[in-house]
Amino acid sequence: MYRSLIAIVLIMMSAANSFADQSNLSQSVAIFGGMFAESSFPGDANIPLGGELEPNFNFGAIYHRDFLELGTGFFVGGEIGGAIRTGDGEPVSGELFTGAAIRYKGIGIGPLVVAPRMTVGFSLVSHTIGIETRRADSAGTEGRLLVYLGPELSFSLKQNPETEFFYRTHHRSGLLKTFENMSGGHNAHTFGIRKKF
């Protein structure tokens, strides 16, 4: 399974080089931080700080690169990221996540540009924390490799569209027991800043 995750990353990097000549494509780096919750997805997990919060935190960084412009304001790309997960009484847990992403260039609202984005891929952690540990124990598994979903909404100023502030639900899921015999995984409410170039 872990070899598959590495293969996906290598394929995404190769595809990025193939489409690098498209002039409107961009790259970006982002940092984020947030708090885990015992919330459901979809549901409270998609509302900033919604649901019952855990005393556990998620901090990380993301690299994104567009592969293809669809010509309707949509861009298809990929991302890879890493995070540190820790909290009250929890040992530090590391995470590597990667996936395909689709983003929209954004909608102008007054001085702001509001842009949605969605990432779908995989997440690998060194070990689970919080409610995810209890869910993994119930499933009789370690819960290390799960599906990753990252629905996001970003905000930037029209005068400075290269800098975005965003809210993202950082979601790990067994996809109805398809992975690790788990239905749910973990959700974190994350806030971040991105620089496009």
Provide the pLDDT for residue 7. Answer: 57
Give the Cα-Cα-Cα angle 136, 140, 142 (nearest 5 degrees): 50
Spans in the chain with pLDDT lower than 70: 1-23
The phi, psi pair for 126, rounded to 5°, reads: -70, -35
Tokens encoding 126: 């060194």
| C-beta of residue 46 within 8 angstroms of C-beta of residue 151 | yes
Q: How far apart are CA 21 and CA 37, in angstroms?
A: 41
What's the confidence (pLDDT) of residue 176? 79
Considering the four listed CATH numbers 3.30.50.10, 3.20.20.70, 2.60.40.10, 2.40.160.20, the one that applies to the domain covering 2-20+28-196 is 2.40.160.20
The pLDDT assigned to 22 comes to 56
**pLDDT attached to residue 19:** 46
pLDDT at site 6: 55
Whole-angstrom Cα distance, residue 55 to residue 20?
Answer: 42
Q: Are strands 184-196 and 152-157 parallel, antiparallel or unpaired?
A: unpaired
pLDDT at 40 (0 to 100): 76
pTM, full prediction: 0.84
**Structural contact between residues 28 and 179, judged by C-beta atoms closer than 8 angstroms:** no
